[in-house]
Amino acid sequence: MGECVINDYELDGGGIARGQGLLVKRCRFLEESGCASICVNACKIPTQNFFNDDMGLPLTMTPDYETGECQFSFGVLPSVEDELKAKRTPCLSRCPSSSTSIVVDKTSTTNICREMH
C-alpha cells in the first residue's frame, strides 16, 4: 500500500462513520497490476475475507480504478450487490487482458477481464 489517511465515510442510512475509514491514496497493488480482476480477486476479496472471518472486523473495500485510490470502510460488511458489481468491472484500458470481449447478456458485450471468471 501507499500513503494512507484515516477518514470518515457515509453510511447507507445517511449517517457518517467518523474516523472509521482509511483511504489508500495510491494503491501500489492496483498500480502495478493495472488489472481490475487482479485487484478484486487477489486483493479486495481476500483482504475483506481476512478482516471479516479471521479478525472479526467487517470491512468493505472500494477501489477507484480511475484515481488508483482504495477506500477501506471498517465496520461495514460488503453487500452482495457491491461484490457482484466489483466482479463485473470492465477491464481497464491499461490491463494486459483488455482486448478480450465477452457477452454479458443477450443484448451487450463488454471488455470484462477474462481473469474475472
Residue 43, φ and ψ in degrees, nearest 5: -125, -65
Grid look-up 477507484 returns: 64
pLDDT digits (tens, 9 = 90+) for 41-88: 889 999 999 999 999 999 999 999 889 899 999 999 999 998 888 888
pLDDT computed for residue 78 by the predictor = 92
pLDDT computed for residue 107 by the predictor = 56
pLDDT computed for residue 109 by the predictor = 47
Q: Percent helix, strand, coil in the chain (nearest 5)?
A: 30, 30, 40
Confidence category of residue 116, pLDDT binned at 50, 70, 90: very low
Confidence category of residue 102, pLDDT binned at 50, 70, 90: very low
Structural domain boundaries, residue 31:
4-89
The verdict on residue 81 lying in a domain is yes
The verdict on residue 114 lying in a domain is no
Average pLDDT, the chain: 82
Whether the Cβ atoms of residue 14 and residue 54 lie closer than 8 Å to each other: no
The verdict on residue 95 lying in a domain is no
Whether the Cβ atoms of residue 98 and residue 115 lie closer than 8 Å to each other: no
User: The whole model's pTM is what?
Assistant: 0.77
The verdict on residue 117 lying in a domain is no
Give mean pLDDT, residues 4-18. 91
The verdict on residue 101 lying in a domain is no
